[in-house]
Structure 1
Amino acid sequence: MTQTQPAPMDGLAQLRAMVAGVLPTAPIATTLGMSAFDVPERGRVRVELVPDLTRHGNPLGTVHGGVHSTLLDTVCGCAVHSTLAPGERYTSLDLTVKFLRPATDASGVLRAEGTVVQRGRRTALAEGRLTDADGRLVAFATSTCMIFPADDGAAG
């Protein structure tokens, strides 16, 4: 008896399966407390985080820059992920973050949105914007990702 394997999913379908709870989410999302993960279209991803200085704070009393960076890395990378064909993979080559204003508990929900700016055969460029509850820009990022074709034999 042979068992039929499901057709491989493209990146958009994988992310939407995570949103639907069919596939597990990334552990970092649980660790940080990310919520409202959304993939409205191919090449665009959103996620939210309610800042809690007891978990996300630095000694200055603001949200640690690593939290900003993780949110922006997540949305940039996932935006690229949403463009992948079945079997393709990617890895981040760089992430450049500009911190524009501090965030605290009083900032309200932080919203990160990532968008693919350019997608080629081997690389993709994405940008991310992190805003506070009043829509003010808290941080901005760009990320370059390397794309691995489905048949190149690279390690997953």
Structure 2
Amino acid sequence: MTNASPAPVATPTDLDESATMTVADALKIILANSYAVYLKTKNFHWHVSGPYFRDYHLLLDEQAAEILAVTDAIAERARKTGNRTLTSIGDIARHQTIIDNDAEIVTPQDMLAELRADNLHMVEAFRRAKEVADEAKDNATSGLIDTWTDEAERRAWFLFEASRPA
């Protein structure tokens, strides 16, 4: 195995090669973060308990499915620009900026707060990636990022509202 960066794939594109590599690097971070938040959301979905179990269980399952659904679009966007994407769990760990939670017990309120913060962290990463895409004149990636940003903001909002006292 080698750690050398492979050459870009000869995918037809009119985008500048060095710019697409920068966009691909930003996409790797948001893809890794998406997997990290997906897994954390599923973990909390599996382990939530308490009086609001059903509501939280369903909310977290819905959000996990939404996050997982976007991963393919992120990876395919990198490939469409002639670049490579993540290849393994180790590759995800090297690129993620979301902190894992390995605690065996997390209160439902702490789960919601942590996932809210993680989704807002993803929003920040999306905004940085959008700046990179805009600088590269990669309007397709930039447009996709707008949708992903809106979805992450929506998840953060739902988590915030669900965690407010009655």
TM-score, normalised to structure 2, is 0.25
More relative contact order in 1 or in 2 (CA 8 Å, sep 6+)? Answer: 2
The structure richer in helix per residue is: 2
TM-score, normalised to structure 1, is 0.26
The structure richer in strand per residue is: 1
